[in-house]
Amino acid sequence: MFSYYPHYDTVATGLTLAIEIIGTLAFALTGIVVAARKRLDIVGVAMVCGLSAFGGGTLRDILLDRRPFFWVEHHQWLWIILGLCVIAMIFLKTKHIELTEKMIQVPDALGLALFTISGTEIALISGSPLLIAVLMGVMTAIFGGVLRDIACNEIPQAFTDHRPYAVIAFIGSWLYIAMANWISNEWLPTLIAFSTIVILRLLAIKFNVVIPSWMRK
């Protein structure tokens, strides 16, 4: 019989919160870089940053009927994100840093891993079936980036660069569930799944691994 976390009795664990916070910061950075590349003003940067940071978790919480949302319960993070936007814009302008796609690859890989794990864990603790929990992990991980790109008038990169993104989140989520069931330690399954997702994503970028796309005749 496949079981999950018999030693957990609440959703709000310290580990889940830490993962959610670090993942939020990682995706917030990608939002800032993408918005800055589009030369948006501070309002636009803040909106894109917020969508990137909170979009996936908000969708997950809506589908799981989970309240309050992360950014409502921990509203101080809204101020942190706004402050991060202002500081980042000043820094990028004064240092004249060239904004490239490569700048978001590492934080994006970190956010992908962290939000996959947190989304999966929260769904499992709420009593969702395994497949639903995996899909929640994938949606948590990719939907913020999808909203970010749509707000910047681009087709979401997760759907167009053909390098495995959602597929890696899907694999990582199942790995996390398996490790959490077999290993009683709270941190080890997270570390294994996190490392696997980040490494797979960066390797896919480095070696230009692609998944099949629609072929025209």
2 occurs within a structural domain: no
pLDDT in tens, 2-17: 444 444 444 335 677 7
Residue 12 has a pLDDT of 38
Provide the pLDDT for residue 10: 42
Residue 175 lies in a domain: yes
Classify the phi-psi angles of 96: left when phi > 0, otherwise alpha if psi is within -120 to 50, otherwise beta. Answer: left
Lowest mean pLDDT among 45-49, 63-67, 103-107, 147-151: 103-107
Residue 6 falls inside a structural domain:
no
Average pLDDT (156-166) is 85
CA dihedral over 60, 26, 22, 160, signed as positive or negative: positive
Please state the rounded mean pLDDT for residues 89-112.
Answer: 79
* Residue 119 within any structural domain of the chain: yes
Of 22-26, 39-43, 129-133, where does the model show the most confidence? 129-133
pLDDT at position 214: 66
**177 within a domain of the structure (yes/no):** yes
Q: Is 121 part of a structural domain of the chain?
A: yes
Contacts of 16 (CB under 8 A, 6+ apart): 118, 121, 122
Residue 165, domain member (yes or no):
yes
Number of domains in the chain: 1
Q: Which amino acid is at 210?
A: V
- Provide the residue range defining the domain that includes 67: 14-206
Residue 48 domain flag: yes
User: How confident is residue 91, by pLDDT bands cut at 50, 70 and 90?
Assistant: confident
What is the mean pLDDT of the segment spanning 152-168?
A: 87
The span from the CA of 45 to the CA of 41, in Å, is: 6
**For residue 209, pLDDT beyond 90:** no
pLDDT of residue 171: 97
The listed range with the strongest mean pLDDT (20-24, 76-80, 98-102, 148-152) is 148-152
What predicted TM-score, i.e. pTM, was given to this entire model?
Answer: 0.86
